[in-house]
Amino acid sequence: MKTGLKQKAPLLGLSLLILSSCAPAVQPPDSQMALATEAVEEATAAGAYEYAPVELKAAQDKINQAKQAMQSKDNVTAKRLLQEAEVDAKLAEAKSATAKSQQAVAELQKSIDMLRDEINRKQAQ
């Protein structure tokens, strides 16, 4: 029984080597790079430097790490990093939009309060 296994082991190893060499290589995630870069640009345009700097920096750092991974031909890692970068950038954009909305609401509330004060003064006269 042991003799048969020893004879088949080299064939099994050779078969695995042949099969692994036939596996398709993961292509460089160029389209994912474009999506992540665009997401960072949109977040920047939305004011993420001011309202969500941590998330924006995380996205930029992951893009840089992905570029290094692509240079090392580690396209699986690069793709994962770029997907994470895109999510981070979209979060930064959403946080920026939320902060701007909250600012607008605060300004509107201030205007409403001023109008109320003016109405109350006129009614008191």
**The amino acid at 105:** V
Q: Per residue in 19-69, pLDDT tens?
A: 555 555 789 999 999 999 999 999 999 999 999 999 999 999 999 999 999
Alpha-carbon distance 48 to 37, whole Å? 14
What pTM was computed for the model? 0.72
**The amino acid at 16:** L
Say whether pLDDT at 1 is over 50: no
